[in-house]
Chain A
Amino acid sequence: MVAKKRRLTILVWLILLIVWELVTRLHLVSAILFPAPEEVWRTFVGILRQGYNGIPFWQHLGITLLRLFSAIILAIVTAVPLGLASGMSATVNGLVDSLIQFYRPIPPLAYYTLLILWFGIGESSKIILLYLAAFAPIYLAGVEGVHNLNQDYQLSAQSLGASKSQIFRWVIFPGSLPSLFTGIRTAVGVSFSTLVAAEMVASTSGIGWMVIDASKYLKSSVMFLGILILGGLGLLLDWGLRRLENAVVFWKGHQ
């Protein structure tokens, strides 16, 4: 089953690559609209060697990841406690839930201009944009995690003489982890898809910025490259998170 699925996956990508190669080789489409695979590869090697816009490739990648991870970590550190608190306490829920439900569906780009006015054009507005995108899914996962927790877990703990704080540390928190991980994976996805937007304004580095800048000069091979890198990076991040999840929440899917 798994082997067959993997074979099909590889096949699909191979076919895609061959079609891409053929379409460009036969000049079926303009090279600006669709650069050839080898052209994209050459661009990649060139950027690896000389960087882009005078900045080494690894620095572009590094700053992008730094923005993403600072935002995610900030979101985890704040949204997990708030989400769990909101799941456990009707008072906290009454205070914060409607605010978060209100801002959650707003497309981040809609308030990005405001963020820039408030926090300037430096790193903070970018990180805050990604942070806001990441916050809601983690918060919601915290609330869900508490609500969906088997009622008997807490009752058993009470009957075993556990105090409130012990119940939180030993039951509610670990019991919410499966939900929290799902939330964190969603958050990484949402932040990641906001990345290009975040790097659109006043950057001079980052993979997302590279795509935007290349589009200004119609350097389609750089755009393709940037998009491929972002796609690959997204896959890699999710794969890493799944590995981490399987290690931490080892009981998930086993009940």
Chain B
Amino acid sequence: MGIFLGGCQSKATTEVPNEIRIGVLNTPNDVAVARQLGYFQAAFPKQRVKFITFDSGVDANKALLAGGVDFATMGDTNGVVALAAGIPVQLCWINEICGANEALVVRKNCGIKSIHDLIGKKIATPFASTAHYSLMVALEQAGIRDQVTLLDLDTQNIVAAWQRGNIDAAYTWQPTLSQLLPESDVLVDSAALAKTGNSTGNITLVRQEFAQQQPQLTQRFIEVLNRAHQLRQTDYAKTVRAAAKQTGISVAEAKLQMNGTSWPGLSAEFSPKYLGTQVTVGQFVKEMQQTGVFMARQQTISQAPTLKQFDQFIWKGGLS
């Protein structure tokens, strides 16, 4: 585990910080809803809440490593990278479980009917993302991992490459997906992969130091996001509107993206189904560990963290 030069906050251990820095993705998720509806201000009246938008979990990880943010949302694959790399962080929340919002699509009318037909084709995906992982799983399940060409493109470039006809298929997420959809067919989506024990989702990591020194604030942070999850149960339309407004997209677009995801909520998350309890390891955690094993086999991380390491990776303050 890393030790930092200078250890920035070694003296003021118990002092309550006057600022909380949150790394966010610009997607219609629970953070966007809570932010739009002022839940953060309500929960942290004494703190200035600062949001920093990242393009990807990769950048969020770098910021966590550099101590530039206290919380950051990212794909769970980036969480595995963070754990494997030994960044001093913990997983404290599942923002959403990916479903139909992430999918593998192929060009319409090009004769590709199943994953097997992808042999020899070019498939693009943003590397190190949940989509990348899901794609690798899908290819491995079909046994054609080594018979396709993978291209590392970010979402805008996927659209450009698709329009130019440079790629045959792409595993990506909304809203990029709907930009490809009119002229494409869905081969498989993350909901289907979740059923085979390969769920992916977006998670929030907290800096370990912050979580240890400020358990109350961390707990409150989780409750803020849980409020958004509960709102989705009771008033879906309002949730969508808030998310759309915050991320600057149309309500229809936000709805399309959010329909594909599920938000478990606090009590479900800290249960055996997801993050586990004090005595049991959660199913989502087990699947994350499998993700780690898979990524280590692909040599994207040097070593797969053990289940024990994963269990310790979960911040269990949310249980008390």
Chain A interface (Cβ within 8 Å of chain B)? Answer: 27-33, 53-54, 113, 116-117, 120-122, 201-204, 209, 213, 215-220
- The residues of A that contact B128 with a CB separation of less than 8 Å are 216-217
B181 part of interface (Cβ distance < 8 Å): no
Q: Min CB distance, B130 to chain A, in Å?
A: 13
Listed residue (A203, A209, A213, A216) with the most chain B CB atoms within 10 angstroms of its CB: A216
Listed residue (A29, A33, A53, A121) with the most chain B CB atoms within 10 angstroms of its CB: A121
B151 part of interface (Cβ distance < 8 Å): yes
- A29-B4 contact given A53-B299, A213-B127, A218-B82, CB 8 Å threshold: yes
B307 part of interface (Cβ distance < 8 Å): no
Which of these, A32, A120, A122, A216, contacts B127 with CB under 8 Å? A216
B194 part of interface (Cβ distance < 8 Å): no
A interface secondary structure, majority: loop
Chain B interface (Cβ within 8 Å of chain A)? Answer: 2-5, 58, 61-62, 65, 81-82, 84-87, 124, 127-128, 149-154, 156-157, 160-161, 164, 166-167, 299-302
- The residues of B that contact A29 with a CB separation of less than 8 Å are 2-5
CB <8 Å contact, B157 and A201: yes
- A213-B4 contact given A31-B86, A116-B160, CB 8 Å threshold: no
What are the 3 A-B residue pairs with the smallest beta carbon separation, nearest first?
A30-B2, A218-B85, A216-B128
Q: Min CB distance, B54 to chain A, in Å?
A: 13
Q: How far is the CA of A27 from the CA of B3 in the complex (A)?
A: 7
- Chain B residue nearest in CB terms to A218: B85
CB <8 Å contact, A30 and B161: no
Q: How far is the CA of A117 from the CA of B157 in the complex (A)?
A: 8
CB <8 Å contact, A215 and B58: yes
Which of these, A28, A31, A202, A219, contacts B152 with CB under 8 Å? A202
- A202-B81 contact given A30-B2, A213-B127, CB 8 Å threshold: no
CB <8 Å contact, B161 and A120: yes
CB <8 Å contact, A30 and B3: yes
- The residues of B that contact A209 with a CB separation of less than 8 Å are 152
Not counting A216-B58, A220-B85, a sample of 20 additional A-B residue pairs whose C-beta atoms are within 8 angstroms of each other reads A29-B2, A29-B4, A30-B3, A32-B85, A33-B2, A53-B299, A113-B160, A116-B161, A117-B160, A117-B164, A120-B161, A120-B164, A121-B157, A202-B151, A202-B153, A209-B152, A215-B58, A218-B81, A218-B82, A219-B302
CB <8 Å contact, B86 and A32: yes
Q: Min CB distance, B120 to chain A, in Å?
A: 15
- The residues of B that contact A213 with a CB separation of less than 8 Å are 127, 152
Q: How far is the CA of A56 from the CA of B288 in the complex (A)?
A: 30
Q: Min CB distance, B46 to chain A, in Å?
A: 31
- The residues of B that contact A202 with a CB separation of less than 8 Å are 124, 151-153, 157, 161
CB <8 Å contact, B86 and A217: no
Q: How far is the CA of A116 from the CA of B62 in the complex (A)?
A: 27
